[in-house]
Amino acid sequence: VQPDWTAGYVAEIDYTYGYYRELAPAHLRFALALRGVAPPSSGPVNYLELGFGQGVSVNIHAASNRGSFWGTDFNPNQAAGARALAKAGGNGANLLDDGFAELLERDDLPKFDFITLHGIWTWVSDKHRDTIVAIIRKHLAVGGAVYMSYNTLPGWSASMPVRHLMKLHEDIAGSAEQGIQKRIQAAIAFGEQVDNAGAAYFRQVPGARDRLKGLKDKPANYLAHEYFNADWKPMYFADAVRHLETAKLSFAASSNLLDHIDNVNFSEQSRQMLVGIQNPLLRESTRDFIVNQVFRRDIFTRGQRLLNMPERTALLMQSRVALTVLANEVPLKLNAAVGEVNLSPAVYTPLIEALAADNYRPKTLGELVPVLAPKNINPLQIIQAVTLLVGANHATAAQSAEEAAAAAPAAQQFNAALLKMAREHTEVMCMASPVLGAGVPVPRLQQMFLAVLGEQKSKKTPDAAALAKGAWAIMTSIGQRVVKDGKTLQSEDENIAQLAADAKIFLDRLPLLQALGVAS
Ligand SMILES: C[S@@+](CC[C@H](N)C(=O)[O-])C[C@H]1O[C@@H](n2cnc3c(N)ncnc32)[C@H](O)[C@@H]1O
């Protein structure tokens, strides 16, 4: 039996420690600019994340952007963990354990430029959805933006009954004594029994069986929060729009930048059809049918100021972007909604080189124009190709140089605390980049190497062998070993050899981490 405050929300097993760059102010601004909607202005922001889970995203954003960062999550364990990180990192984030209804009543909140909610809307009751809308109505500034992700239709229509059956089994056959992991396993096993008994649903509905089978490999904390809440309501885009209209919001853009590029989503035939649809609501809904959308990441704004073409181009040209992987790691292929897409080497090779030039220093799109003009790449092609690189997660929108410089000391302090905590805690796999105003994935061993670099006195970067020795000293001091392909390496030699191999990879990546302000 769950305590009262949960309102049917799974609280028995903690949520995963994910970081989501779609919630970063610079990313949201870039997505809005692409759609020709004036974003909240650059500079210190008032920012609120609703239902922050373990609080990785809100903490990283508070550490890497100027402004006042707020968040709430009613799970007190999660709020306590998120607060501990905020305190250790000194990022000044105001992290609460208010339920949404309590937050609505507060009168000590600023008007927010951004309100974000990732993985919330689908998993709460109608009543809480109304409360969220009321929070937005009361606390979002005019001109402010809301990021909201949700499970959507028609993508979920085939497998909604899988969730229904499993949840019903959990409610009826599960017991508190079993614990949630056992209840989940039993529910999946029950679904399989139904399938094995020849249920027509699993035979007749394409994808239903695969969905059920796929669940077996997923971690219990993901499954618990995705499938086993009392509330779970995938929603059509048009219905989400209707809800948010009551807070005076309009749909502005998708935060998934690949959605902005037609030729990776649509065949020529479907593109032609979409072009013919005038009504934006019908057009966006039709897109969801064409790609069979399962999950939307929408940005809504309150009071839309539309940019004309020259204004839009000027804003995009001022936008900065940085690679987040090494140039040689960017594949010239993309798995997209239309299938595998080859990226033209004539455009992408020089663009990636230009982004990597000068030790990966972030660049405005405007800076790229004269570099790429001699290769016959025009500004529109640059905008499209950069959008694709960001959408495919090879690059990320950066904040302005002034904001990056202002955010650097706080981000460094936060990262130092994170590295200290990373000795004992392995969950947070991301660090704060003041350049991006967002997080950058940094795997655990790379965090160890950064800790070794932080400890050393001399200015010279140590070689792989020295880094491996330093990391091994940290690991032995806390009784840890390297795990390779699921196997724990036992001997010191094996551990050091593996660490040295990883240190080489790290040293290749170091200039990138330095350019992003994650390493000094
Ligand atoms: C699926 S998780 C998503 C967490 C986080 N945004 C992420 O994506 O990693 C949903 C979160 O919403 C919180 N939550 C659900 N209902 C809430 C409510 N009424 N008030 C505050 N938080 C709530 C839960 O505790 C949980 O951490």
Q: Predicted confidence band at 7 (pLDDT cuts at 50, 70, 90)?
A: low
For residue 56, how far is its CA from the centre of ligand 1 (angstroms)?
13
**Residue 403 CB: number of other CB atoms within 10 A?**
24
Q: For atom 13 of ligand 1, which residue has the closest CA? A: 51
Tell me the average pLDDT across 173-193: 91
Q: Which residue has the tokens 């405007």?
A: 366
Tell me the average pLDDT across 212-219: 90
Locate the ligand 1 atom nearest the alpha carbon of residue 11 and give its number: 25
403-412, 413-422, 475-484: least confident range: 475-484
Structure-block tokens of residue 420: 């200290």
Of 120, 146, 222, the one to substitute when testing ligand 1's pocket (max ligand atoms within 8 A of C-beta) is: 120
307-316, 348-357, 374-383, 421-430: least confident range: 421-430
Q: What is the pLDDT of residue 352?
A: 98
Task: Judge contact between 156 and 38, C-beta under 8 A.
Answer: no
> If 0-12 CB within 10 Å is exposed, 13-18 middle and 19+ buried, where does residue 79 land?
buried
**DSSP designation for 65:** S
Q: For atom 18 of ligand 1, which residue has the closest CA? A: 99
Q: Which residue has the tokens 């090879």?
A: 394
For residue 129, how far is its CA from the centre of ligand 1 (angstroms)?
12
Tell me the average pLDDT across 198-213: 93
Q: Predicted confidence band at 224 (pLDDT cuts at 50, 70, 90)?
A: confident
Tell me the average pLDDT across 398-410: 97
33-58 per-position pLDDT tens digit: 999 999 998 899 999 999 999 999 99
Range list of H helices, 324-400 = 345-360, 365-372, 379-391
For residue 204, how far is its CA from the centre of ligand 1 (angstroms)?
35
72-101 per-position pLDDT tens digit: 999 999 999 999 999 999 999 999 999 999
Q: For atom 4 of ligand 1, which residue has the closest CA? A: 53
Tell me the average pLDDT across 304-327: 97
Task: Please list every protein residue whose CB sits less than 6 Å from any atom of ligand 1.
Answer: 7, 9, 15, 18, 51-53, 72-75, 78, 99-100, 118-120, 123-124, 128, 225
Full 3-state SS string of 220-265: HHHHHHHHCCCCCCCECHHHHHHHHHCCCCEEEEECCHHHHCHHHH
The pair phi, psi for residue 112, each rounded to 5°, is -95, 140
Q: What is the pLDDT of residue 24?
A: 98
257-276 per-position pLDDT tens digit: 999 999 999 999 999 999 99
123-132 per-position pLDDT tens digit: 999 999 999 9
Q: What is the pLDDT of residue 11?
A: 66
Q: Which position has the higher pLDDT, 116 or 17?
A: 116
> If 0-12 CB within 10 Å is exposed, 13-18 middle and 19+ buried, where does residue 101 land?
middle
Q: What percent of the chain has pLDDT over 90?
A: 84
Locate the ligand 1 atom nearest the alpha carbon of residue 131 and give its number: 19
Structure-block tokens of residue 505: 């990879």
Structure-block tokens of residue 188: 């999946």
Residue 454 has pLDDT above 90, yes or no: no
Q: For atom 7 of ligand 1, which residue has the closest CA? A: 53
Q: How many CA atoms lie within 13 A of 412 on its CB side?
A: 11
For residue 172, how far is its CA from the centre of ligand 1 (angstroms)?
25
For residue 11, how far is its CA from the centre of ligand 1 (angstroms)?
10
Q: What percent of the chain has pLDDT over 70?
A: 97
Backbone dihedral region for residue 205 (phi beyond 0: left; psi -120 to 50: alpha; all else: beta): beta
In this prediction the pTM is: 0.94
Instruction: Give Cβ neighbours of residue 489 (< 8 Å, ≥ 6 apart).
Output: 481, 482, 483, 495, 498
Q: What is the pLDDT of residue 177?
A: 87
114-124 per-position pLDDT tens digit: 999 999 999 99
Q: Is 71 helix (H, G, I), strand (E, B) or coil?
A: strand
With vertex at residue 439, the alpha carbon angle to CA 501 and CA 519, rounded to the nearest 5 degrees, is 50
325-349 per-position pLDDT tens digit: 999 999 999 999 899 999 999 999 9
Structure-block tokens of residue 303: 């009071």
Look at residues 403, 462, 389 and name the one whose alpha carbon lies nearest to residue 433.
Answer: 403
For residue 511, how far is its CA from the centre of ligand 1 (angstroms)?
36
Structure-block tokens of residue 272: 């032609």
Q: How many CA atoms lie within 13 A of 284 on its CB side?
A: 20
Q: What is the pLDDT of residue 199?
A: 96
Q: Is 186 helix (H, G, I), strand (E, B) or coil?
A: helix
Residue 64 identity: S
Q: What is the pLDDT of residue 3?
A: 64
Of 14, 50, 74, 151, the one to substitute when testing ligand 1's pocket (max ligand atoms within 8 A of C-beta) is: 74
Structure-block tokens of residue 515: 């350019």
Q: 499: part of which helix (H) or strand (E)? A: helix 492-515
Q: What is the pLDDT of residue 17?
A: 87
For residue 51, how far is its CA from the centre of ligand 1 (angstroms)?
4
Q: What is the pLDDT of residue 174?
A: 84
What mean pLDDT, rounded, does the chain reach?
94
Structure-block tokens of residue 519: 């390493």
Task: Judge contact between 244 and 136, C-beta under 8 A.
Answer: yes
